[in-house]
Structure 1
Amino acid sequence: MDKDEEIEQLKKLNELFEESNRAAKIGVWELDIQTNHIFWSNTTKVIHGVEPDYIPNLKEAYEFIKPGSNLELVQNHVNNAITNNIPYNIEMQIIRKDGAEIWTRARGTPEFKNGKCIRLFGTFQDIQDQKEKEIELINSELKMGAIFNNNIDALFLTSPIDGSILRANRAASELFGYTEQEFNQIGRNGIIDTSDPKLPELLEKRKREKHITTDLIGIKKMENDFQ
């Protein structure tokens, strides 16, 4: 392979690399510590919402970072990388050129020579979609938690493996007289009359069908049984 073919091959590999990174929304970057010169790949520029011919500089790069704790987080990790040769992998918010705030993941690796950092390099990823899904999941869990806790019926979340009680709502505590911690300790067998002949069949049915509706004899704390 002659020199021209090698150059052409490298060009094709670079195009494939850029395309795969574009699909994953992952760009690369590099900072020359001695000159403060910054390189951003095309995908990194897209993430920041700037034109392909945009030439970044250190001052403007920091200005893209959302002020406050985000900026402090980045500065601390960058300084630690340069001073102590410690890589970083952080999530932070930036403000794109169009004013949109997005979540990103920044990875940075320092390169040292003769005991001194000469450059930082790494990747920059748009994780906004992932963050939105995480926030949606958290909100959903909070909503379900509120419904669970405030339900007027006694509700339990139990393990199908050993019958341990993972969670119990306020109505369950009021009905049985146990705290949630006590429910965790005594398990399902501590609140249900296990001598009930219907119980084995019902548990097997629940295992098959994932859901059953029935009446069982419950055991209150230091009180009589109830149904």
Structure 2
Amino acid sequence: MRAIMRKLNRHQELSPDEYQNLMGYIHHLRVHSLPSYQVFYQRYAEVLYKQYATYLPEFEYTLGDVVSLLAEKPQLLTYALQRPVQWQRFPLPYQPFLQACSLKYLKGQLFYEVVEQMAKKPETLANLPHPRNHEAVMLFEDQNPFKEPGLKAHFDRLSRFSFVTRLQSMRYLTLHKAKQDCVEVLAPDRLGGIFTNKEKSIYYYIYLTESIESKAREACALINLALYGLKTGDSHEI
């Protein structure tokens, strides 16, 4: 692992095997040594995102988890809307992320934008697909989650939304890379998304817990806002 760290420090390209080993190491840190993971995050999260489009969550629970919690317990929205967010009112696992939102401008800015949008449209909370009752399933090309750098981390991020049941990579964009990653409604129970790493753009499906078009649209709008800062009506090109 030291050789991989040296490459990261020197901004040298990792081989596919090195990248996969690094992802395994990061997972081990998150599960078995959270303080060590926090140190790794501070040193390498930005590098991994810039070089490999690999998103690392800073905390165990993040924005997608909070959105799902607010959908299940809308009475907490009052505390989420306050400036700073009343993070002490939330269950313990959510508090580190929310406390950071109350202190860090950039992280808090997106959080407040999402909850304010939810407050402006109270029907969003009631009209999201219901929470799943099992872990989200992830399907990758060649059954290799690390074949495309960053895609597994992106799917992990999407799986934080409790209305997502399955994520499946489908095809590459062959003519050009996408100008803007985003998701769109394909069917009452399915969204389509674009993920772009350093090399290419990949199209994937997001399957939902319910097959109701209005709920699919609410889920789509929420993901676009939470992940990309895109509001309903924003133009984007794929």
Verify same fold: TM over 0.5: no
More strand by share: 1
Bigger CA radius of gyration: 1
| Structure 2 length-normalised TM | 0.19
| Structure 1 length-normalised TM | 0.19
